[in-house]
Chains A and B, each alone.
Chain A
């Protein structure tokens, strides 16, 4: 099996969220480029924080 070394990697740079015309635009990280309603952005933010806490615990267990 060929192992590729240049496949997409987990990103360590955060995305940049900004407000525009009553909507939330998320630029990055990498090729991410989406627009959400404020409510969807808030729920996505909550979900990201929740997942990040779980990921932190998983990383601690693997250490």
Chain B
């Protein structure tokens, strides 16, 4: 089932069996994409949206000098550009960060869902509102937090999102990103990110090595990042620990 992770363990929303089945039939194509591949270019008219099944994707905006600010990172289960359905033209680019598997959903199918299944439409709307909540948290992160706080916030957030997707046990997860990705997410230079990661490791809060993250002290890391997961609307009680989580490199 391709939509298994969509809205998984979200507080206040549950996809009924027939709704999930309808969403499955809406998928037109499954694609595997290589890392660092642009899938949406700002300003181009779109007729489909992308549900991320495996891997990591980003939304980003480049400044006039070509320097990049990531404005969103997407994890498996995210409907990456569902907002393109009503907007049709996006103001930012979308790309894979790692190798990714995606489900392509034509807008004509989404149109049919909005006409036939209003309850499912509201749940799709719900998912875009979570995106908006995450954007607000990212604004807070960049506007109010220092360097170590920004990284701590991002790692704490990603951990909870991956717990919801069944890809973190709450302390360990695979994060196929490199330090320059973290730099573009947190608005820091590579050398600054390197220093922050060393500080987090030395303070026994978190280790990021070989694309694996091990959180040694989740509570303290969240405190450093002023992270409160409420905005993710995830039912942490039901986000059970998966048995196939990556093991840390020791």
Binding site for B on A (CB under 8 A): 18, 20-21, 23, 25, 27-28, 30-35
Contacts and interface: CB of A to CB of B under 8 A. Distances in A.
A35 B146 contact: no
A11 to B, nearest CB: 12
B191 interface: yes
Contacts of A35: 188-189, 191-192
Nearest to B141: A31
Q: Is the interface of B mostly helix, strand, loop or mixed?
A: helix
A-B pairs with the 5 shortest C-beta distances? A33-B147, A35-B189, A21-B191, A35-B192, A31-B144
A25 B195 contact: yes
A23 B148 CA distance: 18
B66 interface: no
B145 interface: yes
Contact of B144 (A18, A27, A30): A30
A30 B160 CA distance: 26
B154 to A, nearest CB: 13
Given A35-B188, A35-B189, A28 B195 contact: no
Nearest to A16: B146
A27 B145 CA distance: 10
Contacts of A30: 144, 146
A33 B191 contact: no
A31 B146 contact: yes
Nearest to B190: A35
B150 interface: yes
Nearest to A23: B191
